[in-house]
Structures are given as structure tokens and as C-alpha cells.
Amino acid sequence: MEIDPYLINPKQKINLKGKYKLSWTEDNLFTEKNSENEVNNSGSSYLGSSFSGSKKTFLFLLFVVFCFSIILGRGFFLQILLGDNYRVRAENNRQKIIPVPSERGFIFDRNNVQLTQNVPNFSLSVIPKNLPKNQEDLNKIIEKLISITDQDKKEISDIIEKYKDYQQDSIIITEDIPYESALKTQIANTDLPGISIQLGSKRLYILDPTEKGINTTSTNDTSNNADFLHPEDNQKYINNSLSHILGYVGKLSPQELDTYYKKGYFPSDSIGKTGIEKNYEIYLRGTYGEKKIEVNAQGKEQQNLAEKEPIAGSNLILTIDANIQNKLEELVNQKLQEINKDRASAIVLDPRSGEILALVSYPGFDNNDFSGGITKDNYNKYLNDSDEPLFNRAISGNFPSGSVIKPVMALAALQEKIINPNTSFLSTGGLRVAEWFFPDWQVGGHGMTNVQKSLALSVNTFYYYIGGGYGNFVGLGVDKINEYLKYFGFGKMLGIDLPAESSGFLPTPQWKQRVKKEPWYIGDTYNYSIGQGDFLTTPLQIASMTATIANGGTLYVPHTLKQIVNLETGRVTDIKSEVLNQNFIDPANINTVRLGMKDCVSYGSCHRLSTLPFTSAGKTGTAQWSKTKDTHAWFTSFAPFENPEIVVTILIEEGGEGGINAEPIADAFYRWWALYKK
């Protein structure tokens, strides 16, 4: 049957189900027999089925592409963007950089006598990262550590816990372990993950190496250091005065580590804790080197890949003279035993520069006890000692001055023109104000007294007058007294290059009203003018005051460091003296006071020094501080009078009268020094 093509819309495409199939375009036509309804229904069904299949395929392909995109993106992110980071982490698992400690610089006295030494020692350490994560396995490791160190479990566990944040660093469990224990631990190291033996050095402090004939003449030559004195070779170690000067080194505490870790320190490091060791840590420490090693999965060293040598710390040359230091300590010790006292301070300095030649704080301590870590028992003994041997009383102790402060009072009155060298007051045994009596030390008084005689005989009445005034005479007053004391460095730290210096204390009416809820009375000023009451000073401040008078009016910063020797470059840096104050007192007034202090030796309370082979000047002092305990005994002096080279200041706590117990120490020292300086 033929179909008329014009019966069908030429713009329509259809499929006919049945006997005949029909397909066409505008130009061609193929048909198959079917009804119009069949054509429409069949065509609709066919098109829907085709569209549904294509959509599923499209969504599947889209899902596949999405998955591959994620995989490719993640791969790109990890391998390209983070590739360097993971490469470094992988290398770090295989390689490890170990710090190589530098040798700590040595300390010498001014004559190149060596005072410190470094000797090899072994330490047991752990690396937290390499310790077992399982608590049972960790306990086994701790039990091993207990058997090696004899420490208790809690102590070791506490150390590991304290430093748990320093996963990559070596943490010292114990120091100074015997060689045999170190060797056994090293052999068993394969069964002890995270544990290792470190070879380090221990600081030793030598008291008197000159007795062994050891006198290092070149501070740049350290070739013989390994043969220097070991503990078993030396009978005398520092156990007193030099310990306060040199100080000691110790392991970083967790609190210190928080600060110093950013500065390149490690948990296993030692650091200066007190004294010179602390104040000049930056020079003594040196520069650490590095060693790059390859490690296995347990963190054990396999081979050395590269190494950078450390740079040794600088050597320090002190202003201290070890012979003067030892002699002064010996004399102080003898006197304390003689009068059955336990605490004293003594200072020798050069008034021309502020250099400290000797500084004794008694009792002292053995700083070798702290080297390599001090035991709890030893540390508690120091802490519980009522005489406080760890306390540097020469620079940190606060004491009433007694009459040794009178030279400053006299200078203030002369400078303010309240008096002149000829001004005299009648001393009849003291002054009475209403119901209060302020005595002289000598019953009946000293008669007519001018400034020189007041210093020679320590006449209190003279200082009551110039300090607080009496009758129609107007004295300095508390504010002027404080002003001049500040000129001489009282009431503030002088800046000595040792830690923990005290500033002393200058009382004021405002302070008294605020703290004691009392007004300032004339009696307070009288007491102040003779060094009593609430005024407090350090032995160092009295020595510095004496040096200022001795040299004609220049207040220097006292210091203990003379030179820094850089071993790498050979450069020697001289430490220059620093001036705190000068030209604040007329030289004529200083000369008047100097003559008064000379008269103290010629016929006054310092008369013991009058038979020395050179002229000298001094001032005694007896300071009340308790109603039930003995007074403090003071003596300060300088010599030779014409061209002062040395200042000697002595304080014996609860020592009684200065002229009786403190002055003899200075006298004996000067007689020894006269021979020594030749």
C-alpha cells in the first residue's frame, strides 16, 4: 500500500511500530503501517526510555570523574604542595641533629691563677619521643633506670613528666654516674629504647691551686686542662669565700627552660645559677656545635653524617687576688673562732678603680656540692642552717652602720657650710631633749670637739648637733642627710657584677608615718646621724664610701671582672672602671675628713693600726640592732694614707665593739699585705 507523503507533516519525525517502519526527513520518507494513535503512543514511549538511560550514564560518569578529581587533587596536595614538608619529616625520622656542647670558659684570678676546671663525666638521659607509649613497657624502662641510678620511681617519673613537651631532646635523669654503670648501660642500650649515655663535663672549683705549683701564665693555652686537678688529687677545695664570688652551675629548671629554650639552650644543659657563673653566662657558655647522625626506627645511632665543631667559651680574668682572698678568709675565720661567732663579711678593694680584690662572706659553702647536681639531703642542710651559708652577706646583707657612717655626715655638714673645720661643740656625755637623753659612748663626754676629733674619737654629741641641731644650732635634717647618703651610693644598688645585691634602706618621715603610723621625731634624726635607727647598709656600700673618701671624691662601680679572653680570636677585652658620681664634694672638705680618719689611727679608736709600716686611716663602728643580742662590730679603713691603694672593710655580726674585734682583722691583714705587695 502506498502512502501519500502529504498526509503526514513533513516537519515531524516518527517511528511506527507494526508491519511498516517509517522514518523520514524533509527529503526522504520510509513508513510502516500503523494507526495515528499508535504512532503517537509508540513515539512517546521510545523517546522517554532513551532519555532515562542517558541520564543514568551521565550521572555515573560524573561520579567517576568526581572521585578521580578528589584522588588527583589529594595527590597533588600531598605530593606537590606538601611534598617538601613530608620529605623533611621523612628525613627527620631517618636523620637526627644532636647538639655538641662547647667547653665552658675558665675563670682565673688577676694573677692568672686558675680557679675553675671542667672534668669529663657521664650522664644518663632519655629522649621522650623514643620511650614506649605503652605504660607497661614504660614501667619496665623506669625499673631499669632505678637499678642504674638508685633513684626512686616517683623521682624518675616526675622528671619524665616535667619535660614531656620536649619530645626530641635529651632529658638528664642523673649526672655523674660511675664509669662502670655507664659502660653497662651502654652495652644494654639496645634493650632500652629512648635511653642513652651522654659524655659531658662537670665544673670543679679549686681553692688554692698555687699550693700545687699550678699557675697558668697564658689564658689562651688550654692544652693541659685535662691534666688539671681532679677531686681526689686536691686536698683543699673552695668551701667558703670564693664560692659566693664564683657561684656555681646547675641544670636548667623547667621554669628557666621556658625562657632559655628559645635562646638555644636544651633540657640537658647547665647554666650559671649564682655569682660570676651566672652574671657572665653569655661569655662562659660558648657556642654549641652540631652532629648529624642517621638513626634506626628505635632512634639508635647508626652512623655519623656530618659534624660542626663547637666554639669554647671565653676565659674570664677576675680582679680578685686569690692570695688576698685566702688570707682575708683565714683571718676572719680565726677571729670568729676566737670570739665564738659565726657570721662576718670582709671586703678589700682598690679605691683607684673600684676593683674588688677580695670579698668574704662567712660562712660559705662548697660549690662543688652543686656541680653535677646536689642531693636533697645536702641542699636541705644548707637551707636549714640558721647562719645561711648560701647568703652573700657582703653584698646582700642589710645592717645598721653604727659610727662608720659618720664621715659622710661630717662631709655633708662641711659641704652645706653648717660647720667649718674649726667648728666645735662641747661634749659633756650626751644631749637631753625633754625626758629623752642621747648619750655619748664615753661617760662625761670628750670636751670641746671639732670635726677631726669627732672622727678620731667617734664623739656622738658632735653628730647630734650637725644632724638634728640643738638649741639655736640648725642641723642638716633628715632630707639633707638622705641627699648626701645618696651621693655616696647608699639607698641604691651600686651595680656590682654579682647577682642579688641589696640597696640598703634610707628611712624618711613619710615612710615612718606610713609603716609605723608614727611621726618623725628629733630623736630619729639624732639616731640617724650616728648610724642607728632604721638606716640600713651593706658592707659593700661602706667599703665603697671609704674608697670615695680615700681617692678624693670619685664613686666607682665596684666590679670583679678585669678581662675577657676570647679563645677563638685571641682578643683580650679590658673592663674599664665606671664612675657613678664625682665632683660632688669640695676636695678641701674631703681632706678634712681624711685627716680625721687619720687621727683615728694616730690617737683615736683605730690606734691599733698606728704601728703599721705605712700610714693609714680608719673608722670604727658599733651598731645596736637588738635589745637582747650583741652589737655588730664594724671597721673600715684605707692605706697608705698619702696615696691609697687599698680599702679594707670588716663586719662581724654580733661581734661586739668594732675597735675590739673587727679592727684586729684589718690590722693583721695590713701587716701581711705590707710583705705581700713587695
Contact 246, 361 (CB under 8 A): no
Which secondary-structure segment (H or E) carries 344?
A: strand 344-349
**pLDDT tens across 163-217, in order?**
777 766 777 777 777 777 777 776 666 666 677 777 778 899 986 655 543 343 3
What's the distance, CA 198 to chain centroid? 25
User: 79: which DSSP letter?
Assistant: I
Q: For residue 353, what is the enclosing H or E element? A: none
C-alpha to C-alpha distances, 640 to 558, 617, 666, 668, nearest whole angstrom? 20, 8, 13, 15
pLDDT tens-place string over residues 5-47: 444 444 444 444 444 444 444 444 444 444 444 444 444 444 4
pLDDT tens-digit readout, 19-30: 444 444 444 444
In CATH, which superfamily holds the domain spanning 331-369+398-676? DD-peptidase/beta-lactamase superfamily (3.40.710.10)
Position 511, amino acid:
W
Domain 96-318 has CATH 3.90.1310.10: yes
Section 135-150 average pLDDT:
75
From the list 552, 511, 506, 498, the residue with the least C-alpha distance to 528 is 506
Using one digit for the tens of pLDDT, what is the confidence trace for 451-460? 999 999 999 9
SS3 427: strand
What is the signed CA dihedral for 661, 675, 350, 619, rounded to 10 degrees? 30
Rounded to an integer, what distance in angstroms lies between the CA atom of residue 255 and that of residue 245?
24
Would you give the DSSP letter of residue 369?
G
Distances (CA, A) of 592 to 21, 480, 597, 616, 638: 142, 20, 9, 15, 15
Q: What is the pLDDT of residue 31?
A: 44
- How high does pLDDT run on average in the chain? 84
Of 229-233, 393-397, 641-645, where does mean pLDDT reach its minimum? 229-233
Three-class SS state of 320: coil
Band of the pLDDT at 96, cuts 50, 70, 90? low
- pLDDT of 409 higher than 60: yes
The pTM for the full model equals 0.81
What pLDDT, on the 0 to 100 scale, is given for residue 15?
47
171: β partners: 126
Instruction: Pick left, alpha or beta for residue 272 (phi over 0 → left; psi -120 to 50 → alpha; otherwise beta).
Output: beta
Question: Exposed e or buried b for every residue in 191-200, given b needs 16+ CB within 10 A?
Answer: ebbbbbbbeb
The DSSP code for 322 is H
Give the torsion sign (CA, 206, 207, 211, 214). Answer: positive
Residue spans per domain, the chain: 1-81, 96-318, 331-369+398-676
Cell readout for 198 is 651522654
Distance separating alpha carbons of residues 599 and 617, to the nearest angstrom: 7
Burial class of residue 561, CB neighbours in 10 A (0-12, 13-18, 19+): buried
Report residue 345 as a C-alpha cell: 663579711
Task: Answer for the pair 106, 311: CB distance below 8 angstroms, yes or no.
Answer: no
